[in-house]
Chains A and B, each alone.
Chain A
């Protein structure tokens, strides 16, 4: 549905032809790549230019004031991965982020690393994204509490730059957290409208980190809705109705972007809260519509809150079951910015039930007031808990946007 509205999607090869004809886009973006490449010890200075047509709406710039992939309208597919660092040397970490910056720059532009002329070497790029459009690929990087200190040790001498609110999400009443989906030193959220493009990106990040950082966990997800409509989760309910518009920058400053009360590298950054929530689909599907709607406090079909007609009508707490999901969340009077994806992980061998759920992701400037109290109330009382279990948890501080010529989180690491 979404696809049909878009103008023609160009393949990388089309782009190449066009940019040769116009000659414009190429010069502009190769120069910025060049600057970075020099900085990153020549890494990536041999990208094959493929698609840099100015009209290409499948490119979302990696650079900007804030990181992409946060208020970017949600792409269809996501991979979220957490890495643990294997080194105690800061310069190794810096090298890794330089490498990742060059890779992220080129992958979001739809470029493929060019190989040396030696057939005996493994190809630099894993290759599966060749001929595909950039597909609105975004990569969003964050740092977990263990990046700053592990076993009481200030690992990289960066303790004084640790963001104010960065800490592991405290244990919640019904938590059933299962390794490896707990924490991590570094996070990356990779999103794209093409799953193959998204996977290619996360795979090449993992590959280029070998020896310096190892992937601790990785979760894939998907979400789909017609343009401008709120997507539905696997329980069939609209998820993210309360989000402010992706264009409402004033609200973003209020809810999402950290301000000058944080270290400089975090100003314009935000906190990512991650929960992997298993959903008992079979049990849910056997529940009556009334039960389902009482659980959410909203109509399943329209998404309207109880007592109202339309999805975005103002919620009236008096008219909802007090332990319904919406009533409890609204009752905290806090706002967060949700960017959740559904996941499926095959079949549970013990029960024969489908292993599926929600990869909950929310962004907020102060998790201590906006997120943790809300999670606590929901964990204790939410009617939804009958049908769900929290099995993964992590918090990451996402740096401000990456300026041209900079590498990811440069102002944190230097």
Chain B
């Protein structure tokens, strides 16, 4: 069932090889000049951070005045300080974007709509109010930003790129294996459909959060019975039911055709999508949460009982993210990466116990204690994985 696994591991290793090399490179450059530049660098750093702090403080003062205007219902004052704030931001933003790209984006998210709103003849005070609160929070984060953000942002970009190529690769495999599956369904070959179902599921489950980010596609591809209206129900699980419950592929043609179309659509959209580092890390958590909520309970694959396949794929997808951010994590929090190595290994070893001839046992063959053990190890891993967001500081 899992010949395909080898292929992806190779792909993963390839993309990962490049990352640590880059990490190591930047390290050695930094250390060679360290001694002579140390003092000046730290002085410079201090003064830069002071400037940043002062600039942000100035903007906060203006924001305060704007908020006073809101309290007093004074449109003129709101507009005046809104404009002043926006002008201040424009004069500082280049510097901030360069040094703290993540925090920059976070601030832009609120200041741009604010600048549009205050240009309106009758502005929406409630909206301005909400934006100003968010903005204040962004300013607070900006004020406390640490200098390391620069180097991190470069490394983060690389991590995202590496992960993106992993996702592209997985989606390509998804399209291939789904075609094999849907061909079998259309040919009415029950045995072949049964054999190829799990293979396609692997690739979908590895990149599930990305697929889910296109709101309309996930329900079409992956809805379980009862998740959507019966009349709209199609995708993998519709055919799963036909194979394992009804033992007949009659009438499945239309679902097979649609499923094939949908995964191709997914592939197209994945190619175009722009991923944010925070989104990638959040996705790795989503994968583990998915595994902990619907896979370890046997709810996902209620007819085929291949829940362990899905669970393992979720974990593999999460591992891919972890490997992508590893160079940054190694630098920021070596204890955490050591811990995560151990916990991924432990869970993989436990899952390995339930593999026979390269195929996972059906969920129904696991004892309560074995499921509990998996659940507990997933929890342990998730708890540590949640801490990987340390790389954003």
Chain A residues with a Cβ under 8 A of chain B: 86, 116-122, 207, 210-211, 214
From known contacts A117-B144, A121-B389, infer whether A211 and B281 are also in contact, taking CB-CB under 8 Å: no
| B141 contacts across to A, CB distance below 8 A | 117, 119
Given A117-B393, A118-B392, A121-B389, A211 contacting B343 (CB threshold 8 A): yes
Closest 7 CB pairs of A and B: A120-B389, A211-B380, A210-B383, A118-B393, A120-B392, A117-B144, A121-B389
Closest chain-B Cβ to A122's Cβ sits at a distance in Å of 5
Inter-chain contacts of B392 with A (CB < 8 A): 118, 120
Q: B387 in the interface, Cβ–Cβ < 8 Å? A: yes
- Does B370 reach chain A (CB closer than 8 Å)? no
Given A119-B141, A211-B343, also A86-B376 (CB < 8 A)? yes
Closest to A211 in B: B380
Q: Which chain B residues border A116 with CB–CB below 8 Å?
A: 393
CB-based contact A122/B376 at 8 Å: no
Q: Is the CB of B386 within 8 A of A121?
A: yes
Digit string of B359-386 for contact with A (CB within 8 Å is 1, else 0)?
0000000000000000010011001101
**B390 interface residue, CB < 8 Å from A?**
yes
> Does the CB pair A211–B390 fall under 8 Å?
no
Judged by a CB distance under 8 angstroms, whether B278 is at the interface is: yes
Chain B residues in the interface with A (C-beta under 8 A): 137, 140-141, 144, 278, 281, 343, 376, 379-380, 383-384, 386-387, 389-390, 392-393
Cα–Cα, bound, A66→B392 (Å): 44
Contact of B376 among A119, A120, A121, A214 (CB under 8 A): A214
Q: Within 8 Å CB of A86, what residues of B?
A: 376
B276 to chain A, nearest CB (A): 11
Residues in chain A near residue B380, CB distance under 8 A: 210-211
Evaluate contact between B278 and A121: CB separation under 8 angstroms: no
Nearest B residue to A120 via CB reads B389
B275 to chain A, nearest CB (A): 15
B390 interface neighbour in A119, A121, A207, A214, Cβ under 8 Å: A121
Question: A117-B141, A120-B278 given as contacts; is B386 within 8 A of A210 (CB)?
Answer: no
Contact partners of B379 in chain A: CB under 8 A? 210-211
B281 contact set on A, CB distance < 8 A: 120
B230 smallest CB distance to A (angstroms): 29
**B375 and chain A: residue at smallest CB distance:** A214
A68 shortest CB reach to chain B, Å: 29
A180 to chain B, nearest CB (A): 10
Which partner residue on chain A sits nearest B137 by CB separation? A119
Bound CA span A118–B389, Å: 8
Smallest Cβ-Cβ distance to B339: which chain A residue: A211
Number of A-B pairs, beta carbon distance below 8 Å = 32
**Alpha-carbon gap, A214 to B141, bound state (A):** 35
Q: Is the CB of B384 within 8 A of A211?
A: yes
Tell me the complex Cα distance, A341–B381, Å: 36
Distance A117 CA – B281 CA, assembled complex (angstroms): 18
* 11 CB < 8 A contacts A-B: A117-B144, A117-B393, A118-B392, A119-B141, A121-B386, A121-B389, A122-B389, A210-B379, A210-B380, A211-B379, A211-B384
Q: Which residue of B lies closest to A84 (CB)?
A: B376
Bound CA–CA A393/B4 (angstroms): 50
Enumerate chain B residues within 8 angstroms of A118, measured Cβ to Cβ.
Answer: 389-390, 392-393
Chain A hits for B390, CB < 8 A: 118, 121
* Residues on the B chain within 8 Å of A210, using CB: 379-380, 383
Residue of B nearest to A208 (CB): B383
How far is the CB of A251 from the nearest CB of chain B, in Å?
A: 43
CA distance A121 to B389 in the complex (A): 5
Please name all residues of chain A whose beta carbon is closer than 8 Å to the beta carbon of B278 when the two chains form the complex.
120
Complex: how many Å from CA A117 to CA B278?
Answer: 16
Look across to chain A and name the residue whose beta carbon is closest to the beta carbon of B380: A211
Q: Shortest beta-carbon distance, A95 to chain B, in Å?
A: 12
**Other than the known A122-B389, A210-B380, what 13 A-B pairs have Cβ atoms closer than 8 Å?**
A117-B393, A118-B389, A118-B392, A119-B141, A120-B278, A120-B389, A121-B386, A121-B389, A122-B386, A210-B383, A211-B383, A211-B384, A214-B376
- Find chain B residues with CB under 8 A from A207 CB: 383
Q: A115 vs B263: C-alpha distance in the bound complex, in angstroms?
A: 42
A118-B103 Cα distance, complex, nearest whole Å: 11
Complex Cα distance A122/B390, Å? Answer: 10
User: Contact check: which of B137, B343, B384, B387 meets A121 at CB < 8 Å?
Assistant: B387
A231 shortest CB reach to chain B, Å: 36
| Docked CA distance A118–B392 (Å) | 7
CA–CA, A122 and B393, complex, Å? 13
Chain A residues lying within 8 Å of B137, measured Cβ to Cβ, are 119
Docked Cα-Cα span, A122 to B386, in Å, equals 7
Chain A residues near B343 (CB, 8 Å)?
211
The residue of chain B having its C-beta at the shortest distance from the C-beta of A118 within the complex is B393
CB proximity of A151 to chain B, nearest CB, Å: 15
With A and B bound together, what is the CA distance between A122 and B389 in angstroms? 9
Q: A297–B281 Cα gap in the complex (Å)?
A: 65
> Nearest Cβ distance between residue A302 and chain B, in whole angstroms?
49
Return chain B residues, CB-CB under 8 Å to A211: 343, 379-380, 383-384
Shortest distance from the beta carbon of A98 to any chain B beta carbon, whole Å: 16
Query: Contacts of A117 on B, CB cut-off 8 Å?
Result: 140-141, 144, 393
CB distance from A184 to the nearest CB of B (A): 15
Q: Which of B137, B140, B383 has the most CB of A within 10 A?
A: B383
Q: How far is the CA of A102 from the CA of B140 in the complex (A)?
A: 28
A46 to B113, CA, bound (A): 36
- Complex: A120 Cα to B386 Cα, angstroms: 9
Once the chains are docked, how many angstroms separate the CA of A210 from the CA of B385?
A: 12
CA distance A211 to B386 in the complex (A): 14
Q: A121: which B residues are within 8 A, CB to CB? A: 386-387, 389-390
**Nearest CB in chain B: distance from A13 CB, A:** 20
Residue of A with least CB distance to B392: A120
Residues on A with C-beta less than 8 A from B144 are 117
Give the residues in chain B near A122, CB-CB below 8 Å: 386, 389
Chain B residues near A119: list those with CB within 8 A: 137, 141
Chain B nearest Cβ from A35, distance in angstroms: 23
- Smallest Cβ-Cβ distance to A210: which chain B residue: B383
Assembled-state Cα–Cα distance A210/B140 (Å): 32
Expressed in whole angstroms, the Cα–Cα distance for A380 and B384 within the complex equals 50
What separation, in Å, do the CA atoms of A310 and B247 have in the docked complex?
75
The smallest C-beta distance from A395 to any residue of chain B, in angstroms, reads 24
Kindly state the separation between the CA atoms of A256 and B379 in the bound complex, as whole angstroms.
39
Q: What residues of chain A lie closer than 8 Å to B376, measured between beta carbons?
A: 86, 214
What is the bound-complex CA distance between A191 and B121, given in angstroms?
A: 58
The chain A residue with its CB closest to the CB of B368 is A179
Shortest A121–chain B CB gap in Å is: 5
A116 to B392 alpha-carbon distance, docked (Å): 11
CB distance from B138 to the nearest CB of A (A): 9
For B278, give the chain A residue with the smallest CB separation.
A120
B40 CB to nearest A CB, Å: 27
CA distance A119 to B384 in the complex (A): 16
